[in-house]
């Protein structure tokens, strides 16, 4: 079931993130959640694993990830680890992605980071619309 922001139950995007992340964390290390923003290349996924959470997000740029996050004013929490990074291919139509591993006890930081990705990194603005769904929960 897909849920959307700008509704009575979920007025803002972080409400959608918190609802689905709470469900994901309550599951027994199964499943994942997916969020779509208002633009084509604005999506984020979170998978639930026994030792950590996996954060995967669209990276529609060709430049360095750390530089792009810094320029957007987004800092990665200290204990998080960059696991994979695939920038957008030169001239390609296929966007890239980045994957971080985050400690399971950092759900609040994860929600804040995802919100900042949509606002600052994807330039969706502070009152953006988002939808999300869970799989295998």
pLDDT of residue 93: 58
From residue 39, how far is each of 11, 45, 82, 122, 129 by CA, in Å? 19, 15, 24, 8, 10
Burial 99-113 (b: 16+ CB within 10 A, else e): bbbbeeebbebbbeb
Mean pLDDT of the chain, nearest integer: 91
pLDDT of residue 92: 57
pTM as predicted: 0.92
pLDDT of residue 104: 87
At residue 81, the 3 state secondary structure works out as strand
User: Bigger pLDDT: 41 or 43?
Assistant: 43
pLDDT of residue 137: 62
Q: With bands split at pLDDT 50, 70 and 90, how would you rate the model's confidence at 88?
A: confident
Q: What is the mean pLDDT of residues 8-35?
A: 93
Q: What is the mean pLDDT of residues 25-33?
A: 87
pLDDT of residue 122: 95
Q: What is the mean pLDDT of residues 16-42?
A: 91
Taking only the tens place, the pLDDT of each residue in 89-104 is: 766 556 789 999 999 8
**Highest mean pLDDT out of 28-32, 39-43, 67-71:** 67-71
Q: Which helix (H) or strand (E) holds 65?
A: helix 65-72
67 Cβ contact partners less than 8 Å away, ≥ 6 residues apart: none
CA-wise closest residue to 88 among 123, 58, 119, 120:
58
Question: For residues 17 and 114, what is the distance between their CA atoms, to the nearest angstrom?
Answer: 8
Q: What is the mean pLDDT of residues 60-82?
A: 91
Question: For residues 110 and 136, what is the distance between their CA atoms, to the nearest angstrom?
Answer: 20
């Amino acid at each position: 079931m897909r849920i959307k922001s700008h509704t009575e139950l979920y007025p803002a995007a972080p409400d959608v993130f918190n609802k689905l992340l709470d469900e994901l964390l309550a599951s027994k290390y199964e499943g994942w959640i997916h969020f779509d923003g208002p633009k084509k290349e604005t999506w984020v996924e979170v998978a639930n694993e026994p030792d950590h959470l996996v954060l995967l997000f669209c990276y529609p740029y060709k430049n360095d990830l750390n530089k792009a996050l810094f320029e957007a004013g987004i800092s990665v929490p200290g204990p998080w680890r960059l696991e994979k990074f695939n920038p957008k291919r030169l001239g390609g139509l296929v966007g890239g992605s980045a994957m971080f591993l985050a400690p399971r006890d950092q759900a609040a930081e994860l929600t804040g980071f995802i919100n900042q990705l949509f606002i600052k990194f994807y330039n969706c603005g502070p009152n953006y619309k988002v939808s999300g769904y869970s799989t295998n929960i």
